[in-house]
Amino acid sequence: MDLSKRKFKEDFKKMLTEVYSMGLKESEATEQFFTLGNLIRSYVAKNWSRTNQAYIEKGKKQVYYFSMEFLLGRMLKSNLLNLGILETVRDGLSDLGIDLEALVQIEPDPGLGNGGLGRLAACFIDSMATSEIPAHGNGIRYKYGLFKQKFVNGYQVELPENWLQNGNVWETRKMHAAVTVRFYGHVWLEHSGKGYLVPHYEDAQEVLAVPYDSAVIGFNNEIVNTLRLWSAEVPPQDESTDYWSFIHQRNEIESISEVLYPDDSNYEGRLLRLKQEYFFVSAGVQSIIRHYKKMHLGIEHLAEKVAIHINDTHPALCIPELMRILLDEEHMDWEHAWHLTINTMSYTNHTIMTEAMEKWPIEMIQTLLPRIVQIICEIDRRYVMEMGRLFDTDLIQSTRIVEGGHVRMAHMAIIGSHSINGVAQLHTNILKEKVLHPFYLIYPSKFNNKTNGITQRRWLMLANEPLRHLIDRKIGNEWATMPTELKMLKAFREDKRTLQELAEVKRQNKVRFARFVEESMGLEINPEAIFDVQIKRLHAYKRQLLNLLHILSLYFKLKEHPEADLHPRVFIFGAKAAPSYTYAKQIIKLINSVAELINHDPDIHDKLKLVFVENYGVSLAERIIPAADVSEQISLASKEASGTSNMKLMLNGAVTLATLDGANVEIREHVGEDNIVLFGLRTDEVYHYYKDGTYHAHDYYEKNQVLHRVLNALIDGTIPGAEAEGYAIFDSLVRYGDEYFVLRDFDDYAAAQERIDRLYRDSLIWQKMALINIASAGIFSSDYTVQQYASQIWDVSSKVHRI
């Protein structure tokens, strides 16, 4: 938008007076932040309503991206950047004696997600608005985001994250758009006499779903899409309601949108979770139908104007819910309703790990959603009947939705939609060949791949301004919307000056991060060291343990050979563990105890440091990633569906140290063998071990001297304070089979780390690798990912920039 600095300053002062009746001098950062937020809203208002109007008038097909999580991060700078007024506002504020960065810190980081899945949804809505795709997010407005993590004595302690305490400046409560969602009770069907059945509900609990809308601003294109998050409230009461029963009911209802479940890649069969899933699904689908009817096209054309996307199985109840509306409210017959539902729905699979697969007991659904369970059973019955004619009985039985008293959500999502995609090439292949192979035999054309992506606007333009300016000076700024233009940087691969400038940018970022560590943790780290980063949820399959065992091996090496020729290293971890995931929490404690041991050992000096930042989230990621030299992507091959921190880190010039898992495979393809450091078992080797059962972790403990020494340290008191954890972890590896092949990959990992050490010493070689990583990262922009979803799955228009 056009905005002069003078106009901005006037607007800002005027808004401050209007909202707070304050002059500039009396105001503090909090008032200034809210004033700026309100001003941005006023700037956006016109384009927001224009965008919505245009979608309706032009009869555009619209996409609704259903996700249980949206891990947005702070929105202030992102909104300013996308409006094209970041610099104007920064300068204007500075004239008024206000530091924009101080206002940024006022905004709470809305943690409405666990990790990669929620962050993907956030990158997607940014990219969809920028790519001019008529697409909106649909989710839950959790009162409490993901817990705040504190370390007490090295143990993770969880504190509530009350992010709404001071209000959310970006949202608008839309009371007129509220809908009713029904739970419990009994339902029976009656013939209407007009050829359809009418459901009658008795004793159902009614919940009012109230939407809160936030603007999703496209980058410099006047498009403003909507993120709609639903909050659960008590419906208006009649006068006969007893006060105490009202209070009781209110607490029960409001708890639906109170907390985000903190489990990442792990399924918890709790009733409240099922309520949450149906709550935002039913509210979202009802509101879509209501909106669709404004076009007056007749319900039979729904799939031409609406696409509903199911992000993992959490919103898979979209399928029976749309069926319910089409049957019970629109009086369609089953075949037409089913055809329409399939054509409307599409589904993304995010995991192959069995512990993450949702499987709800049928009695639970029966109690909570009596009408929905009838529809699910009928879908299942017809599936068996119709497919039974075409395919082998065993094949159909193994793919049923209802089995062993459970509803398998992934099966429902595949059967009820026209597209199922994996999130990286390797992951999609594993789905087709192994995990979902029976479905692939039945529906080969439904399967497709959409490799995940990240928005370069947040993860480079905002998070790493020094690098952004360097790139702009070298190749211009087209990469903001045409990210593969970054490839032009390759022209500078032999240019010493550019490589030195790149090194200088990295050094600046490392100094900045070192200052943060010093101020927040009281720990001094050396910016000349290699900053080696592993930031992601704590999970056994991600193998933070492999990293830690290697750190211990370096520590012992330095203790025994102080003269050992190692380039100084700072190992940086950020990770939250699910509160109920005992093993992950033991690993956190162990990492913290090892940090305590190493960081305070005078023999080690600054050759080795271990930094475990507290409360990892989007804002911390934005601080750490620009300062990273090495990106640790070391999951056991086949386990990480895609990964996205691998993409963020390469975009910021870190070199990837990786197994051939998830999108690492594609990163290798794009940067080339020489610009990535690989190690470890391959997927086929892992499957081979599963098949013949020949992996014996104990042998590695017995025969590998370095490992023996390191593993013994877990149980011989070398690591003070973590004795119990040391034993538990030792046992998991040595006695109980080492499920994720940590010991098997240890030597290969250590050798890869030595290669890193050697490569880093030649600054020009290293910076050339960094440059090629940055130059090759454009293809991993979520702009391209969503453009592919738009054309290949949703059949909607987008502004496509050729790759």
Ligand X SMILES: *Cc1c(COP(=O)(O)O)cnc(C)c1O
Active-site annotation holder among 291, 305, 350, 569: 350
Q: How far apart are CA 389 and CA 367, in angstroms?
A: 33
Distance CA 369, CA 362 (A): 10
Say whether 341 is catalytic.
Answer: no
Please answer whether residues 65 and 121 qualify as being in contact, where contact means their C-beta atoms are separated by less than 8 angstroms. Answer: yes
- Give the E-state strand segments of 144-185 in sequence order: 145-152, 155-161, 171-173, 179-183
Q: Is 469 tagged catalytic?
A: no
Residue 643 sits in the site that holds ligand X (CB under 6 A)? yes
Q: Which stretch binds ligand X (CB under 6 A): 9-17, 79-87, 114-122, 701-709?
A: 114-122
Which residue number, 72 or 558, has a Cβ lying nearer to ligand X? 72
The verdict on 618 binding ligand X (CB under 6 A) reads yes
Q: Is 542 in the active site?
A: yes
| Phi, psi angle pair for 630, to nearest 5° | -120, 135
Asked if 617 is part of the footprint of ligand X (rule: CB under 6 A), the reply reads yes
Helix, strand counts (H, E) of the chain: 32, 23
Q: CB of 621: closest distance to ligand X in angstroms?
A: 4
State which residue, 205 or 425, has the beta carbon closest to ligand X.
425
Piece of 115-123, 359-367, 607-615, 784-792 that binds ligand X (CB under 6 A): 115-123
Whether the Cβ atoms of residue 87 and residue 93 lie closer than 8 Å to each other? no
Q: Smallest distance, Å, CB 656 to ligand X?
A: 11
Report, in Å, the least distance between residue 617 CB and ligand X: 5
What binding mask, one character per residue, do residues 230-259 give for ligand X by CB under 6 A, x or -?
A: ------------------------------
778 lies in the binding site for ligand X (CB under 6 A): no
Q: Is 110 in the site for ligand X (CB under 6 A)?
A: no
Clarify whether 359 is annotated catalytic. Answer: no
Interactions with ligand X, residue window 426-485 (CB under 6 A)? none
Nearer to ligand X, 321 or 661 (CB): 661
> How many binding residues for ligand X (CB under 6 A)?
11
Among residues 119, 408, 418, 457, which is the contact residue for ligand X, using CB under 6 A? 119
- Can you tell me whether residue 416 is helix, strand or coil? coil
Contact segment (CB under 6 A) with ligand X among 44-52, 419-427, 637-645, 754-762 equals 637-645
- Out of 92, 115, 134, 483, the residue judged to bind ligand X by CB under 6 A: 115
Whether residue 567 lies in the annotated active site: no
Query: Which tokens go with 377?
Result: 């059973």
CA 592/CA 585 separation, integer angstroms: 11
Enumerate the H helices of 58-146 as residue ranges: 76-83, 86-95, 100-104, 116-130
Distance CA 229, CA 170 (A): 12
For 14, other C-beta atoms within 10 Å of its C-beta total: 12
Residue 128 Cβ vs ligand X, minimum distance, rounded to whole Å:
18
Contact 359, 648 (CB under 8 A): no
DSSP assigned state of 390: T
Question: Quick one: which segment of 124-132, 171-179, 365-373, 613-621 binds ligand X (CB under 6 A)?
Answer: 613-621
Q: Which of 51, 130, 481, 644 is catalytic?
A: 644
Rounded distance between C-alpha atoms, residue 208 and residue 377, angstroms: 27
Q: For residues 98 and 742, which CB has a smaller minimum distance to ligand X in the complex? A: 742
Contacts of 79 (CB under 8 A, 6+ apart): 40, 44, 170, 215, 217
Which run of H or of E encompasses 675?
A: none
| Catalytic residue list contains 148 | no
Q: Determine which one of 77, 148, 182, 536 is catalytic.
A: 536
Strand (E) or helix (H) holding 414 = helix 409-415
By CB under 6 A, what part of segment 269-288 binds ligand X? none
Query: Closest CB to ligand X among 432 and 648?
Result: 648
Q: Of the listed pieces 6-14, 74-82, 112-120, 195-203, which binds ligand X according to CB under 6 A? A: 112-120
645 binds ligand X (CB under 6 A): yes
Q: How far is the CB of 362 from ligand X (least distance, A)?
A: 33
Can you read off the two tokens belonging to residue 497?
Answer: 């000056």
Q: Are 701 and 734 in contact (CB under 8 A)?
A: yes
Choice among 74, 371, 506, 537 that is catalytic: 537
At residue 608, φ and ψ (nearest 5 deg) are -145, 125
The answer to whether 109 touches 73, Cβ cutoff 8 Å, is yes
Q: 155-179 burial, b if ≥16 CB within 10 A, otherwise e?
A: bbebeebebbeeebbbbeeeeeebb
Q: Which 484-543 positions form the footprint of ligand X (CB under 6 A)?
A: 536
Q: How far is the CB of 616 from ligand X (least distance, A)?
A: 6
CB 246, CB 237: distance < 8 Å: yes
- Minimum Å gap between C-beta 512 and ligand X is 19
Among 621, 714, 759, 796, binds ligand X (CB under 6 A): 621
Minimum gap (Å) between residue 59 Cβ and ligand X: 36
Least CB distance from residue 65 to ligand X, whole Å? 18
- Other Cβ atoms within 10 Å of 800 Cβ, number: 15
Q: Which residues are 406's β-sheet partners?
A: 361, 403
Return the number of the residue (116 or 137) whose C-beta is nearest ligand X.
Answer: 116
Per-residue interface string for the shown chain with ligand X, residues 559-598, x marking contact by CB under 6 A: ----------------------------------------
Q: Is 644 in the site for ligand X (CB under 6 A)?
A: yes
Stretch binding ligand X (CB under 6 A), from 311-319, 431-439, 643-651, 755-763 = 643-651
The continuous run of DSSP H or E covering 201 comes out as: strand 197-202
Residue 631 CB, nearest distance to ligand X (Å)? Answer: 9
Show the 3-state SS of 561-620: CCCCCCCCEEEEEECCCCCCCHHHHHHHHHHHHHHHHHHCCCCCCCCEEEEEECCCCHHH
Report helix, strand or coil for 436.
coil
Q: Which is nearer to ligand X, 643 or 778 (CB)?
A: 643
- For the annotated catalytic residues, the residue numbers are 350, 536-537, 542, 644, 648
What is the binding site for ligand X (CB under 6 A)?
115-116, 119, 536, 617-618, 621, 643-645, 648
